[in-house]
Amino acid sequence: MTQSSVAALFDWGVHDLAERSESSRADVSLLMAHAMGRSRGWLVAQPDALLSEEQIAAFVELCNRRKRGEPIAYILGSAGFYGREFLVNDRVLVPRPETEHLVEDALGFIRGPVRVLDVGTGCGAIACTIAAETDATVDADDVSPAAIEIATENARRLGVGDRCSFYRGDLVEPVRGNRYDVVIANLPYVPTGDLPERPEPASFEPREALDGGPDGLGPYRRLLAELPALLGDRALTLLEAAPPTISQLAELVRRALRDWVVTVCNDYAGLARYVRASASPGAAGGPAAGIGPGAVATGRSR
Ligand SMILES: C[S@@+](CC[C@H](N)C(=O)[O-])C[C@H]1O[C@@H](n2cnc3c(N)ncnc32)[C@H](O)[C@@H]1O
């Protein structure tokens, strides 16, 4: 290909990716916009525009990476989460839409300048979103130095660096002795035997972000041994896991937090996705109830 129009190359790309991607049209549009340094809207408006040889070569290379299974977010270097863009690379998990449910739940609960902990923050999607949407102060940690680096950069870019503190360390070790109003964790929860293999997109993600041990609940067992000491009197905790293990996780939470109200909540697909535990019945209703001195403008930006 020495010269080609946007429309012709678009069709070629869709055909090229069709076998490997269920979202080939959307992928091609994102990849071509990225290769050309243009918006997707510009591509739609300029179907007859010609690509240079360099742009064609760059686009073909991006398509090849996608064909090998690499997640589109790694190729583009960013992922959307709750209406914001987060820098990502192959050293952090790509934040998932399911996790937005936990954020939404927390936002309904938070009132005023409360303290929030995000355990296993990855690219900082949960921590930064909560800081951006509320007046909360957020601590977040991760065992991965690369995650702490990228989460810190995301907080800076999103203008919430002053209310987010990121620590490198194992589970609660960096924040032991603190008390929080909200503790959220999306820890690795894939059973080791079910870890994805190439060319599945998730196989490109760091193993330490996925591997939950033999039954997928290893990291949560360790967290639950320390969780009660971290939670304030009227706190909320939200723990994401896989649908097949969620009832077992709920049982572990009930044992760790006796007398708390423990429920299992669903994701967009109607699948059981996270365990919610609130300290008092007054806080169990989710969005209507909350803690803190007064209402906070949450300013949802989706
Ligand atoms: C499933 S990813 C979730 C990332 C992010 N919270 C999100 O929702 O997109 C799990 C994260 O937990 C981190 N992690 C794994 N084991 C950990 C541990 N023992 N202590 C702290 N973080 C851990 C991983 O490095 C990874 O970033």
Domains and CATH numbers, the chain: 4-68 (1.10.8), 93-288 (3.40.50.150)
In this prediction, residue 2 carries a pLDDT of 59
Question: Is the pLDDT reported for residue 301 higher than 70?
Answer: no
Among protein residues, the one with the nearest Cα to ligand 1's atom 17 is 143
- In which band, very low, low, confident or very high, does the pLDDT at 19 lie, cut at 50, 70 and 90? confident
Question: For 1, what's the count of Cα atoms within 13 Å in the CB-facing half-sphere?
Answer: 19
Does residue 1 surpass a pLDDT of 80?
no
Please report, for residues 109, 152, 208, 295, the alpha-carbon distance to residue 287 in angstroms, rounded to integers and kept in the order given.
5, 29, 33, 12
Mind listing the pLDDT tens digit for each residue in 130-164? Answer: 999 999 999 999 999 999 999 999 999 999 999 99
Residue 226 has pLDDT above 50, yes or no: yes
Q: Tokens 């709750």 — which residue? A: 82
Give the model confidence (pLDDT) of 178-208 as tens digits.
999 999 999 999 999 999 999 999 999 999 9
pLDDT top residue among 283 and 93: 93
Cα angle value 70/203/77 (rounded, 5°): 40
Q: Are 118 and 81 in contact (CB under 8 A)?
A: no
pTM: 0.91
Is 170 a pocket residue for ligand 1 (Cβ < 6 Å)? yes
Which residue out of 126, 143, 172, 173 has the highest number of ligand 1 atoms within 8 Å of its CB and is therefore the one to mutate? 143
Ligand 1 contact via 212 beta carbon (within 6 Å): no
> Which of 91, 142, 240 has the most ligand 1 atoms within 8 A of CB, as the residue to mutate?
142
User: Going by CA atoms, what residue is nearest to atom 13 of ligand 1?
Assistant: 120
pLDDT of 282 strictly over 50: yes
